[in-house]
Amino acid sequence: MVADGPARDAAEGPGEAPSAAGGVAPGGDGGVRTIGVAIPIPDPYGAFLQARRASFGDPLAHAIPTHITLLPPTEIPDSEVDAVQEHLRAVAGTETPFPIRLRGSGTFRPVSPVVFVALAEGIGGCERVQAKVLSGPLARPLPFPYHPHVTIAHHLPESVMDQAFKELAGYTADFETWGFSLYEHGRDGVWRPQCDFIFGDGAVPSPGGNRGGPASQ
């Protein structure tokens, strides 16, 4: 999630997503909220990569849970929340857990100022789930081809981006993804999970989710 503008953040090739930019927070004026859908990176890997992102001085490090984007920042009316959740529940019900292997670093520069940890396994699974998520009530065009990744540095000085690229070049992590989460963007600029969608099962509220409050996202 980034604070640079929703059009740019919607880029699922180059770009950071979900993004903290744009949109009206849940319960805000106009009854519109900004959502994103992503596969969370489980701890200890997620916490480690978030800490590394913070160590590079990325001001968004603590506003963005470590993730692989499925749906970039998208505004929806409050009236469509139930339909979106039902859609996501149906998508999750058609899938089964699959392995993901993170290995090494990559970058979208010079097209977009992003350094990321790359997927060596699980790309096909992410692509399949992403295509299903971006259908029905969430159907939308993307300005770039979908490229699953885990952002670790965004919009930082070139020397810092180079440092991030080098320091994560040897990084590896293996885990099985259980499903994906629906996130909302809060007035405080923080993205928070609201509901988890379990592959082959259903949906459960995310711990600590605050669906009704103005700071939930």
Q: What is the DSSP letter of 198?
A: E
What pLDDT score does 65 carry? 94
What pLDDT score does 18 carry? 44
Question: Is 80 exceeded by the pLDDT of residue 217?
Answer: no
- For the domain spanning 6-205, the CATH number is 3.90.1140.10
All structural domains of the chain with their residue ranges = 6-205
| pTM of this structure | 0.82
Structure-token pair, residue 27: 């319960």
Give 3-state DSSP helix, strand, coil % of the chain, rounded to 5: 25, 30, 45
Rounded to 5°, angle at Cα 198 from 42 and 53 = 25
CA distances (Å), origin 64, targets 57, 67, 104, 120: 14, 8, 21, 23
Query: Over the stretch 182-194, which tens digit does the pLDDT of each residue have?
Result: 999 998 999 999 9
Question: What is the average pLDDT across 28-37?
Answer: 80
Beta carbons of 113 and 155 less than 8 angstroms apart: yes
